[in-house]
Structure 1
Amino acid sequence: MRNWLRKNPQVRTIRVAASDLNGQARGKRVPARFADKVLDGGTRFPLSVLNLDIWGEDIDDSPLVFEAGDADGVLWPTGRGFVPMPWLEAPSALLPLWMFRDNGQPFEGDPRHALNAVVERYKARGLTPIVAMELEFFLIDDSTRNLQVPASPRSGKRRKAGEILSIRLIDQFDRFFTDLYDACEAMDIPADTVISEAGLGQFEMNLMHSDDALRAADDAWLFKMLVKGLARRHGFAASFMAKPYPDYSGSGMHTHFSVLDENGDNVFDDCGPKGTDTLRHAIAGCLNGMFDSTLLFAPHMNSYDRLVPESHAPTGIAWAYENRTTAIRVPSGNPAARRIEHRVAGGDVNPYLTLAAILGAALVGIEDQSEPPAPVKGNAYALNLPQIPSDWPSAVAAFEKSTVMPRIFHEDMIRNLVLTKKQEIHYMDELTPAERVEIYLDTV
């Protein structure tokens, strides 16, 4: 890490930051010449900093604040090292951190530690998840109260329609996407294909698969930060808000995963189209945990505007082969790459918590050797299926009362997230729809 700074003397300031429960980067700005202090001794934040609400405020009744004297934790580098911040004008670098208690134990309220705990359970069984994420986002002109697609830098015109897989639309923002790919390369984020989507000014970028689930979540977290920052440099906004426009589809974060054994073989592959018993067990686990974990896939009030029938987002708890109307899709193709696509999460999620919920539920299914219902066929919206929670308070209640979530998350994490969301529900109810859009547009 020190070598990186020596090789990049133009970097005069660094940011040291960790993810809070909402996926917001919380941290400090430090002159680069004092970076050794962080590398050698860590840095200290109050434990409560990772448990703030969407406005960045303390949780009123959190035991981490006054009850515990608002005690500090110590944050250490995650191992990612310094990454440049190409969206800033002055050369700067970000050092990702995660939080520990003074006794060296991981802080139970850190979302990255929550994912790591799930990954360690896979390792104990000789298994390694292989993960890839697809992130959808909107480019938005938010210079007035009425959100609209930005004017094309090439033509000056606004294309007021969704254009699925439109090369023309991508080319209209070629300078932005060229800079985005260059920035991803500089930050070592494995950006692959980009396409235009069904929403107004909506795009999707695929991140390449990784055999390190923590790294995959890091990539998604950094990518969201990058896209939002870089868009501002280009004179417009980018947002992963679930549904900024009521008349267009919302943004998702689809997660693909398979699992390798100690020999490097895909435990979902039976050399045919159906997959193994382990694949079915993992699917069953995902389905069994879906209702209770919806809060992690739809963590905000606006998230539930996306989860409506016939909107390219799943509402029923079901699975199928090669069917994008279901919550769980098993893509076709080479059996060696047999995998699960989990399609529930919105673009507005915390990638660490979402991936922990998905991989954790799958592992519970594998441990219990659970069996799923039969795969569905046709339009899942037209079937009589058990439904995921359709509103925010119901999702909070399901998460809080779940018997499955304690098998995935530490009780303190569950408590902290429930307290956070109950506080947000209280204050969001006091805002107008326009005020809600304003807060979500830039944060999530």
Structure 2
Amino acid sequence: MADWLRARPQVRTIRAAACDLNGIARGKRLPAHSAEKIASDGTRFPMSALNLDIWGEDIDDSPLVFDSGDRDGVLFPTERGLVPMPWLEAPTALLPIWMYREDGRPYDGDPRHALARVVERYRERGLTVVAAVELEFFLIDDSGKTLQVPISPRSNKRRKAAEILSIRALDAFDAFFTDLYDACEAMDIPADTAISEAGLGQFEINLVHQPDPLRAADDAWLFKMLVKGLARRHGFAASFMAKPYEDYAGSGMHAHFSVIDKNGRNIFDNGGPEGTDTLKHAIAGCLNGMSACTLIFAPHLNSYDRMVPGAHAPSGLCWAYENRTVAIRVPAGAPAARRIEHRVSGGDVNPYLALAAMLGAALNGIEDAAEPPAPVTGNAYALDLPRIPTDWAGAIAAFEESPVVPRIFPDELIRNLLLTKKQELHYMAELTPTEQVEIYLDTV
């Protein structure tokens, strides 16, 4: 850390930040020299800071606040170390941190620790998860009363149409994407392919697979911060909210993962297109946990506007080979790369919780040798299938009542998330649709 700062004497301040349950960075601004002290001694802020609602308010009746005297947790740097923040005017570095209790135990309300627990379950079996995500987002002009596509800096025109796989749409914002890829390189975020998508001003960037889900989730969390911050420097907004436009498809975060044994073999690969029995068990686990974990995959009121049939977001509990209408897709390709694509999450998720839910459910299925239903063919939206919860209140109830969830998440995180979402459900109902969009646009 000292070497990193010595090589960058222009960096005068840092932001030490942890990820809260909504995926929002919570932390402090400090002089750059404080990074060394945080590395050795940690920094402190209340445990309740990782359990705030979408407005950044304390949770009513939370045991973390007045009942406990609003006790501090101790936060230390993650393995990521310092990374630049290219979206700010002054040279600045971000120090990702995660929370521990005073006695050194991980704080169970920290979403990064929740994912680490799942990763450890795999490690105990001699297994390594290789994971990556695809993140969709919108570029938006939010300067007026209605949201619209930004004016292209190249043509000085506003193109009010969806353009799937359009090179013209990418080139219209070439300066932004050039800066974005440069910033990803500086932050060591493995950005790969960019495409234009089906929504107004909607794009997707794939991140390269990592043999560490924590690293993959870090990449996604940092990428979301970067995209939103950099867009503002270019004079418009970027948003990962699930569905800003009623008449166009919303944004997802598709996750791909395979599992490698201690000999380096992909345990989903049987040399053919169908995959191993273990692949089927993992798929069954994902499907068995999907309704229970919908609150993770669709954590906000706006999330459920995306999850309607025919809108490029899965709504039925099913799987298939090479089929993008299903919840769980097994992509085609070389058998050695056989993997699961989990297609339910919106772009508005907390990536740590989303990957923990997916991978934890998959491991449950492997441990139980669970059997999935037969793969479907054709348009899954047209089939009579069991449905995942289609509204926020239903997802909260499913999460609270399911026996699957405690196998994946610790009790404290379950309690905190339920308190958070019940409070948001109550207060969001008091807002107009415009006010709801305003809060989600920049936060998620």
Same fold (TM over 0.5): yes
CA–CA distance in structure 1, aligned partners of residues 57 and 42 of structure 2: 24
- What are the residue-to-residue correspondences of 1:85-124 with 2, within 5 Å? 85-124=85-124
CA–CA distance in structure 2, aligned partners of residues 145 and 347 of structure 1: 24
Counterpart amino acid of residue 20 in structure 2? D
> What residue in structure 1 maps to residue 266 of structure 2?
266
TM-score (norm 2): 1.00
Q: Secondary structure at the match of 2:27?
A: strand
CA–CA distance in structure 1, aligned partners of residues 77 and 440 of structure 2: 28
Counterpart amino acid of residue 195 in structure 2? I
Displacement after TM superposition at 1:142 (Å): 0.1
Displacement after TM superposition at 1:36 (Å): 2.0
CA–CA distance in structure 2, aligned partners of residues 171 and 130 of structure 1: 32
Counterpart amino acid of residue 197 in structure 1? E
> What residue in structure 2 maps to residue 349 of structure 1?
349
CA–CA distance in structure 2, aligned partners of residues 34 and 23 of structure 1: 24
Does residue 299 in structure 1 map to residue 299 in structure 2? yes
Displacement after TM superposition at 1:186 (Å): 0.0
Displacement after TM superposition at 1:19 (Å): 0.1
* 1:6-27 CA distance string (max 9 Å, x none): 1100000000000000000000
Does residue 409 in structure 1 map to residue 409 in structure 2? yes
Displacement after TM superposition at 1:135 (Å): 0.1
CA–CA distance in structure 2, aligned partners of residues 159 and 26 of structure 1: 36
Does residue 45 in structure 1 map to residue 45 in structure 2? yes
* 1:372-399 CA distance string (max 9 Å, x none): 0000000000000000000000000000
- What are the residue-to-residue correspondences of 1:140-155 with 2, within 5 Å? 140-155=140-155
CA–CA distance in structure 1, aligned partners of residues 379 and 172 of structure 2: 34
CA–CA distance in structure 2, aligned partners of residues 74 and 334 of structure 1: 46
Displacement after TM superposition at 1:253 (Å): 0.1
Does residue 433 in structure 1 map to residue 433 in structure 2? yes
- What are the residue-to-residue correspondences of 1:368-407 with 2, within 5 Å? 368-407=368-407
Displacement after TM superposition at 1:40 (Å): 1.5
- What are the residue-to-residue correspondences of 1:167-182 with 2, within 5 Å? 167-182=167-182
CA–CA distance in structure 2, aligned partners of residues 33 and 221 of structure 1: 25
Does residue 61 in structure 1 map to residue 61 in structure 2? yes
Displacement after TM superposition at 1:417 (Å): 0.1
CA–CA distance in structure 2, aligned partners of residues 274 and 304 of structure 1: 32
CA–CA distance in structure 1, aligned partners of residues 87 and 318 of structure 2: 40
Counterpart amino acid of residue 205 in structure 2? M
> What residue in structure 1 maps to residue 278 of structure 2?
278
> What residue in structure 1 maps to residue 210 of structure 2?
210
Displacement after TM superposition at 1:38 (Å): 1.2
Displacement after TM superposition at 1:34 (Å): 2.6
> What residue in structure 2 maps to residue 231 of structure 1?
231
Displacement after TM superposition at 1:37 (Å): 1.8
TM-score (norm 1): 1.00
CA–CA distance in structure 1, aligned partners of residues 392 and 34 of structure 2: 43
CA–CA distance in structure 2, aligned partners of residues 265 and 79 of structure 1: 26
CA–CA distance in structure 2, aligned partners of residues 315 and 278 of structure 1: 25
CA–CA distance in structure 2, aligned partners of residues 269 and 40 of structure 1: 43
* 1:19-62 CA distance string (max 9 Å, x none): 00000000000011232221221000100000000000000111
CA–CA distance in structure 1, aligned partners of residues 270 and 161 of structure 2: 43
Q: Secondary structure at the match of 2:155?
A: coil
> What residue in structure 1 maps to residue 137 of structure 2?
137
Counterpart amino acid of residue 173 in structure 2? F
Does residue 29 in structure 1 map to residue 25 in structure 2? no
Q: Secondary structure at the match of 1:210?
A: coil
Displacement after TM superposition at 1:140 (Å): 0.1
Displacement after TM superposition at 1:429 (Å): 0.3
Q: Secondary structure at the match of 1:231?
A: helix
Does residue 188 in structure 1 map to residue 188 in structure 2? yes
Counterpart amino acid of residue 86 in structure 2? P
Displacement after TM superposition at 1:320 (Å): 0.2
Q: Secondary structure at the match of 1:314?
A: coil
Q: Which moved more, 1:28-37 or 1:237-246?
A: 28-37
> What residue in structure 1 maps to residue 159 of structure 2?
159
Displacement after TM superposition at 1:300 (Å): 0.1
CA–CA distance in structure 1, aligned partners of residues 316 and 187 of structure 2: 37
Q: Secondary structure at the match of 1:292?
A: coil
* 1:51-96 CA distance string (max 9 Å, x none): 0000000001111111111000000000111000000000000000
Q: Secondary structure at the match of 2:69?
A: coil
Counterpart amino acid of residue 321 in structure 2? Y
Does residue 315 in structure 1 map to residue 315 in structure 2? yes
Q: Secondary structure at the match of 2:291?
A: helix
Q: Secondary structure at the match of 2:238?
A: strand
CA–CA distance in structure 1, aligned partners of residues 333 and 159 of structure 2: 35
Displacement after TM superposition at 1:323 (Å): 0.4
Q: Secondary structure at the match of 2:214?
A: helix
Q: Secondary structure at the match of 2:208?
A: strand
CA–CA distance in structure 2, aligned partners of residues 38 and 292 of structure 1: 37
Q: Secondary structure at the match of 1:222?
A: helix
Question: Which consecutive residues of structure 2, in runs of 5 or more, have no partner in the other structure?
Answer: none
Counterpart amino acid of residue 175 in structure 1? A
Displacement after TM superposition at 1:439 (Å): 0.2
* 1:213-244 CA distance string (max 9 Å, x none): 10000000000000000000000000000000
Question: Which consecutive residues of structure 1, in runs of 5 or more, have no partner in the other structure?
Answer: none
* 1:325-355 CA distance string (max 9 Å, x none): 0000000010000000000000000000000
CA–CA distance in structure 2, aligned partners of residues 405 and 39 of structure 1: 33
Q: Secondary structure at the match of 1:341?
A: strand
CA–CA distance in structure 2, aligned partners of residues 79 and 168 of structure 1: 39
